[in-house]
Amino acid sequence: MSTAKKHTVFDTRKEVDFVIVGSGASGGILARELSTAGFDVVVLEQGPYRTAKDFSHDEIDVMLRNDMMEHPSWKDPQTFRATATEIAEVTRDGVTPPALYARGVGGSSVHFTANYWRFRPVDFNERSLLGPISGTGFADWPISYEELEPYYTRVDWEIGVSGAPGPFDAPRSRPYPVPPLPVKSSGVLLEKGAKKLGLHAQPAPMAILSKPHNNRPACMHCGFCMGFGCEANAKSSTLATMIPQAEATGHCEIRPLSTVYKIETNDAGRATEVAYIDAKGAQQAQKTKAVIVAANGGETPRLLLMSESSKFPNGLANSSGLVGKYLMANAHSLSQAFFVEPLNEYKSVQVTRIIHDFYENDPARGFYGGGGIDARAFIQASPIFFSETGLPPGAPRWGKAHKDLLRHNFTRRMALLGSATSLALESNNITLDPDLKDAVGRPAMRITYHDHPDDLAMATFLQDRGVDLLEAAEANTIWREPVLPTNVLAHLLGTCRMGADPKTSVVDPSHRSHDVPNLFICDGSSLVTSGRGQPTMTIQALAFRASELIADAARRGEI
């Protein structure tokens, strides 16, 4: 008897209930929730369907050649500029692109570092608390932390988060399902520095299992998390959690190597089908009753802008003109240090302890912002990146002295990463490049980004505190990486923001687009504020919540 898994296949010419564009952090949840509720769902994913057995620790393939991030079938270049007065420069082949995201089933949840901080109540209503900030789109969310809390708890339990409550955490209705991952030397040293300075290092919430949970195994501590896929299925990607459950319902087809280029609409202004290039390079279109775009904060606005028509000349769902605007990346800063004894940061997960003492805005600082500090190996966890970027400025770059530095310090280094707020600015955005197209004629994603001065001030503040912490922990060498305007964006947030007013937002509080009644948008683009640096937990809580609201609306016949 065959044990081969039966895959559900839907006919492109027959209407399904939902097409979901993207299978990542949010798309995977939407697929599982809606198919479990009995709806027929097709998920279009531009990347390949890798599984745990396909992942490797090859630093060249994964980290240098961007195997997880490149389009699988053709070049899909991006362009970047800091301000609208510049002509955007194309990213050279092989250089890390400005908008960082993985392509493949599970999306960036496959290669992410898996920091799972919840937002706090203040992240939802800070505009009301602080008042306006001139020149920015700083705004409250139309929903509160309390409304989202049950869905954060679902992420904890159904996605799988390891952790323990910290002294400043927002209220939670249920404990973490599994305890924190074992502390690493970097975490112990952060605790040591924090104690001396009167700060509070707390266990890091991570979407990596410390104990078996939901039929998945605990982490083997291999050390290849950041940028790599997990071959043990201990990292709680949607590939390891939601996607198999969605497929098991018999109501969900994951269609990989499917690059969407347009959402088609009819004269009534409703979405009718989703056009894409299939694995063989042929044009296809899947008919559907409703569309959910969950393609990430870069690809989602790109697709909506590409879906212009005579009825929607500025792009789909864009009557506000805000599709692609208010891009937020979270500002970052990094300091590195060497210690006397080996830490061996190349082992186990990236982060085991974090500092949230600076989460809140503090007017005494003289600028808006808040953030967190985490102790981690960073990209120098693996030896090529260490040899290229893990030595202090002025260190010999070659020769015997260089070799001795590599020999002594690979096991003795750690980093502190500061992650901060980004203010929403209209001038930071995703647009279609007017000149450059990919191999199938889709306009390239153009990123325009220059941090608000307060974002960089906050990142610098966190770096200063990081250096204090490293000194208090008795590091013997400490250095700062320059805090410069962001030109590589690992977080793509805010580009189809949620709001009650169609003039100032793209989706309503249930993620339905204001302009197209059967078009929903749910991913990082929905965020109104950036949080303090770790957005995925919130993106996924939104996805659980949106799934419920969308399913209810469908059952009521209101889609």
Partner 1 sequence: MKNTKSSRRSFISASGALAGGGWLALNAPMLLAAGHAAAKHKSTEKGWSNISAQQARTFAAVVDQIIPPDESPGASDAGVVYFIDNVLGGFMADAEGLLKKGLEELDRQAAASSPARPDFASLSFDQQTELLQMIESTEFFNTMIFLTHCGMFAMPSWGGNRDLVGWSLVGFDNRHAWQPPFGYYDALAVAGEADHVDG
Looking only at residues 360 through 419 of this chain, which bind partner 1 when binding is defined by CB under 8 A? 378-379, 382-389, 391, 393, 397-400, 402-403, 406-407, 410-411
Strand-pair partners of 90: 79
If the CB atoms of residues 94 and 171 are measured against partner 1, the closer one turns out to be 94
Which of 223, 324, 418, 466: binder of partner 1 (CB under 8 A)? 223
If the CB atoms of residues 436 and 440 are measured against partner 1, the closer one turns out to be 436
Least Å distance, CB 511 to partner 1, is 29
CA 31 from chain centre, in angstroms, equals: 18
If the CB atoms of residues 201 and 519 are measured against partner 1, the closer one turns out to be 201
* Site of tokens 């208090």: 472
Backbone conformation region of residue 324, classed left if phi is above 0, alpha if psi is from -120 to 50, else beta: left
DSSP state letters, 459-508: HHHHHHHHHHHHHHTT-SEEEE-------SBS--B-TT-B-S-TTT-SB-
Which of 175, 179, 453, 485: binder of partner 1 (CB under 8 A)? 485
Which of 159, 277, 328, 334: binder of partner 1 (CB under 8 A)? 334
Closest CA to 237 of 159, 151, 158: 159
Q: Which stretch binds partner 1 (CB under 8 A): 245-253, 317-325, 331-339, 362-370?
A: 331-339
C-alpha dist (Å) from residue 248 to 26, 32, 235, 242, 379: 18, 9, 20, 10, 36
How far apart are alpha carbons 365 and 374 in whole angstroms? 21
Give the long-range contacts of residues 393-398, CB within 8 A, separation 24 or more.
393/479
If the CB atoms of residues 5 and 400 are measured against partner 1, the closer one turns out to be 400
Which of 123, 299, 345, 374: binder of partner 1 (CB under 8 A)? 345
If the CB atoms of residues 419 and 547 are measured against partner 1, the closer one turns out to be 419
Closest CA to 55 of 246, 235, 256: 235
Least Å distance, CB 78 to partner 1, is 12
* 8 A C-beta contact, residue 121 and residue 145: yes
Site for partner 1 in 184-203 (CB under 8 A): 184-185, 187-189, 191-192
Which of 258, 350, 421, 486: binder of partner 1 (CB under 8 A)? 486
Site for partner 1 in 230-269 (CB under 8 A): none
If the CB atoms of residues 191 and 273 are measured against partner 1, the closer one turns out to be 191
Give the amino acid at 526: S
* 8 A C-beta contact, residue 80 and residue 447: yes
DSSP state letters, 380-448: GGSHHHHHHHSS-TT---SSHHHHHHHHHHGGGEEEEEEEE-----TTSEEEEEEEEE-TTSPEEEEEE
Decide: is 14 part of the binding site for partner 1 (CB under 8 A).
no
Site for partner 1 in 76-95 (CB under 8 A): 77, 79, 87-90, 92-95
Closest CA to 238 of 351, 118, 104: 104
Least Å distance, CB 486 to partner 1, is 4
Decide: is 65 part of the binding site for partner 1 (CB under 8 A).
yes
If the CB atoms of residues 287 and 347 are measured against partner 1, the closer one turns out to be 347
If the CB atoms of residues 390 and 494 are measured against partner 1, the closer one turns out to be 390
Helix, strand or coil for residue 169? coil
If the CB atoms of residues 221 and 289 are measured against partner 1, the closer one turns out to be 221
Q: Which stretch binds partner 1 (CB under 8 A): 124-132, 216-224, 292-300, 363-371?
A: 216-224
Strand-pair partners of 162: 178, 206
If the CB atoms of residues 6 and 92 are measured against partner 1, the closer one turns out to be 92
Q: How many residues bind partner 1 (CB under 8 A)?
A: 79
Decide: is 57 part of the binding site for partner 1 (CB under 8 A).
yes
CA 148 from chain centre, in angstroms, equals: 18
Least Å distance, CB 123 to partner 1, is 23
Which of 8, 15, 58, 510: binder of partner 1 (CB under 8 A)? 58
Residue 81: in which H helix or E strand, if any? Answer: strand 78-81
Decide: is 506 part of the binding site for partner 1 (CB under 8 A).
no
Which of 347, 367, 510, 553: binder of partner 1 (CB under 8 A)? 347
Q: Which stretch binds partner 1 (CB under 8 A): 198-206, 257-265, 356-364, 485-493?
A: 485-493
Query: Which x/- pattern over 412-451 shows residues binding partner 1 (rule: CB under 8 A)?
Result: ---------------------x-xx---------------
Decide: is 281 part of the binding site for partner 1 (CB under 8 A).
no
How far apart are alpha carbons 518 and 522 in whole angstroms? 13
How far apart are alpha carbons 259 and 392 in whole angstroms? 42
Q: Which stretch binds partner 1 (CB under 8 A): 20-28, 300-308, 342-350, 518-526?
A: 342-350
Decide: is 490 part of the binding site for partner 1 (CB under 8 A).
yes
Least Å distance, CB 180 to partner 1, is 12
Which of 481, 508, 509, 548: binder of partner 1 (CB under 8 A)? 481
Least Å distance, CB 357 to partner 1, is 21
If the CB atoms of residues 143 and 188 are measured against partner 1, the closer one turns out to be 188
How far apart are alpha carbons 127 and 129 in whole angstroms? 5
Closest CA to 508 of 317, 300, 301: 317
Least Å distance, CB 399 to partner 1, is 7
If the CB atoms of residues 222 and 549 are measured against partner 1, the closer one turns out to be 222
Least Å distance, CB 142 to partner 1, is 31
DSSP annotation of 200 reads -
Residue 41: in which H helix or E strand, if any? Answer: strand 41-44
If the CB atoms of residues 334 and 528 are measured against partner 1, the closer one turns out to be 334
Other residues' Cβ atoms within 10 Å of the Cβ of residue 10? 20
Least Å distance, CB 473 to partner 1, is 9
- 456: which 2 tokens? 């960089």
If the CB atoms of residues 208 and 317 are measured against partner 1, the closer one turns out to be 208
How far apart are alpha carbons 548 and 555 in whole angstroms? 11
Helix, strand or coil for residue 226? coil
